[in-house]
Structure 1
Amino acid sequence: MKIAVFADIHSNFEAFKTCFDKAIKEGATEFIFLGDYLGDMANLRQTMDMVYQVRKDYPCTFIRGNKEDYWLEHRRHPDAEDWAYGRTTTGMLRYNFDRVTDEDLDFFESMPISIDKHYEGLPDITFCHGSPYSANQSLRPDYDYIDEVTATFNNDIVICAHFHIQTQYTRSGKLIINPGAIGISLNAGGKAQFMILEGENGAWDYHFYSVDYDVDATIKAMHDEKINELAPGWYRITKHLLQTGENSHASILRKVMSDYYKETGIETLHGIPEEFWEKELDTIFGKEETR
């Protein structure tokens, strides 16, 4: 029995299909998806069509991520936030929401944020996106609450996603594993990442994979869809991440928010002017590097 664990696709269809082909070649017969199917790239429809095809052809488990929660919350309260094109922080949110279908949203709503899986003769495993308690809670090993939160887990193995770093560590006697991100892996040199679980002789073994895929095709699709205009700063951050695996969206957001606060005394994210974003990203990436 080999189970492929896929996380954080973020609409990166090129990486998704490459990882899927690799998983099948390695003998995977079941798939577990850990959320954030869409988000940062252009191939939303191709990604969802492939998710539905894999669901049809193989036993699958689907977990809901924080990205799915964004679309669902916006469906419930469409006027709560102004998601506008041309803005770094909301352009991609609007892009995705304008293209998801009711079928997609209903599918997301049916997913749990966490599930305990039992396989005969093997230790139970908890699968989640963020943590078993919240799709938006990170289990990064360097966070100060990790010892406290891991001590409360029911199972000795927890496989999570969300922070996009392929890693494993043990805290409070619990093994925490992140398979890495298919869509935008951090610290992976621009490769796509996933893992395969294999149960044998009453124990689980796992293998990490890092695969090359057509990054240029992913970036071209974004440019063809004019993501660089619809969400200008977000496009630049994503492009740099795809090419290098460095400087996460979250780290850039924190830096720009901090710099804006120092300059203006205003603590905001969505209210930061695009001119400020452009200046900041020119400093971080260079004026022409990620345009």
Structure 2
Amino acid sequence: MSERIGLFADLHSNLEAFEACMARAEELGVTRMVFLGDIVGYNADPVAIIENIAALIESKKAIAVVGNHDEAVFRDYRNQMNASANAAIEWTKTQLQESHVQFLKGLPLIIQEEKICYVHASAHNPSDWNYITDSMSAWRCVQNSGKTYTFVGHAHEQALFYQSAVGKLIRFAPHPGDEIPVLQHRQWVGVVGSLGQPRDGNPEACFAVFEPESEMLTFHRVPYDHFRAADKVRRAGLPDDLANRLITGH
């Protein structure tokens, strides 16, 4: 069977969304998983998410990179995040054991393979957590990755940037479920969207599947019990706006 890579970003401690996406990935025949950072933050199940991903990595079924919310667990990010994000990180720290913190600390900032680069924010100065939202930020990313395919998270909305004949990176809004040919003669940046906190007005979880041999990329949306996830956020004493975001998708 040809390789199918599942791409998951910005999980943000959302166990309900994670379980729904893992089930869908299995249905789709995903053979390997890549977690593109921001494993924790915002939501109520950081321990379960870390332990699930650690087990997948240990069994050689997955790889992962670090995100800014993950790094905020062990570095001072209080001046770089809004009040709700900071509150969630401070709460997350109270839930984690030292082994969980060490797991996050051990994640690489960027992973480079033969034709693919995986990074949370951008291959351009990855530790600066730059967002890829337009042609210029996408161009900077591919210039620094040097790879045919670069897959990122950080920006919570799904997008695909492709290289035009003159080298400019053009933004494309993918439709969930459509197979998109991503041919190797161009460079591509795929923003896979947020599994754990979508922000495009649709509360369904995001992920993508890349098939290197057939050069196909498919973006997916997965319904899950976002009301339950939001209720857990409230019961944990986290800010109301974080629960509301799960319900509205904004």
TM-score (norm. length: structure 1): 0.70
Q: C-alpha distance in 2, partners of 1:38/1:212?
A: 20
SS at match of 1:5: strand
Question: Is contact 2:36–2:119 with CA below 8 Å preserved after alignment?
Answer: yes
Over residues 65-122 of structure 1, what are the superposed CA-to-partner deviations in whole Å (9 max), with x where a residue is unaligned?
Answer: 1111111214xxxxx969xxxx64632121011222221221122211111123xxxx
Q: C-alpha distance in 2, partners of 1:141/1:47?
A: 31
1:30 and 1:244, CA in 2 relative to 1: closer, same or farther beyond 3 A? same
Quick one: which amino acid aligns to residue 41 of structure 2? Answer: G
Quick one: which amino acid aligns to residue 33 of structure 1? Answer: F
Give the unaligned 5+ runs of structure 1: 75-79, 119-123, 247-291
Q: Which has the higher contact order (CA 8 A, sep 6+)?
A: 2
1:7 and 1:241, CA in 2 relative to 1: closer, same or farther beyond 3 A? same
Q: Select the residue among 114, 120, 125 that pairs with 2:116.
A: 125
Q: Residue in 1 aligned with 2:160?
A: 168
SS at match of 2:215: strand
Q: Residue in 2 aligned with 1:47?
A: 49
How many residues get paired? 222
What does 1:120-269 align with in structure 2 at a 5 Å threshold? 124-132=115-123, 133-135=125-127, 136-141=129-134, 145-171=137-163, 172=167, 174-187=187-200, 189-200=202-213, 203-227=214-238, 232=239, 235-236=240-241, 238-246=242-250
TM-score (norm. length: structure 2): 0.81
Q: C-alpha distance in 2, partners of 1:140/1:100?
A: 32
1:197 and 1:188, CA in 2 relative to 1: closer, same or farther beyond 3 A? farther
SS at match of 2:75: helix
Q: C-alpha distance in 2, partners of 1:89/1:13?
A: 18
Over residues 172-199 of structure 1, what are the superposed CA-to-partner deviations in whole Å (9 max), with x where a residue is unaligned?
Answer: 4531101111001221510001011112
What value does the CA root-mean-square deviation take over the aligned residues?
Answer: 2.2
Over residues 13-51 of structure 1, what are the superposed CA-to-partner deviations in whole Å (9 max), with x where a residue is unaligned?
Answer: 000010001101111121111010010011122222222
Q: C-alpha distance in 2, partners of 1:175/1:154?
A: 11
Give the stretch that moved more between structures: 102-111 or 6-15. 102-111
Question: Is contact 2:231–2:243 with CA below 8 Å preserved after alignment?
Answer: no
Q: Residue in 2 aligned with 1:112?
A: 108
Give the structure with the larger helix fraction. 1
SS at match of 2:247: helix
Question: Is contact 2:192–2:207 with CA below 8 Å preserved after alignment?
Answer: yes
Q: C-alpha distance in 2, partners of 1:81/1:40?
A: 14
Question: Offset at 1:53?
Answer: 2.9
Q: C-alpha distance in 1, partners of 2:225/2:102?
A: 31
Question: Offset at 1:58?
Answer: 4.6
SS at match of 1:196: strand
Question: Is contact 2:10–2:194 with CA below 8 Å preserved after alignment?
Answer: yes
Q: Residue in 1 aligned with 2:97?
A: 101
Q: C-alpha distance in 2, partners of 1:216/1:81?
A: 29
Q: C-alpha distance in 1, partners of 2:31/2:138?
A: 33
Find out whether 1:25 has 2:27 as its counterpart: yes
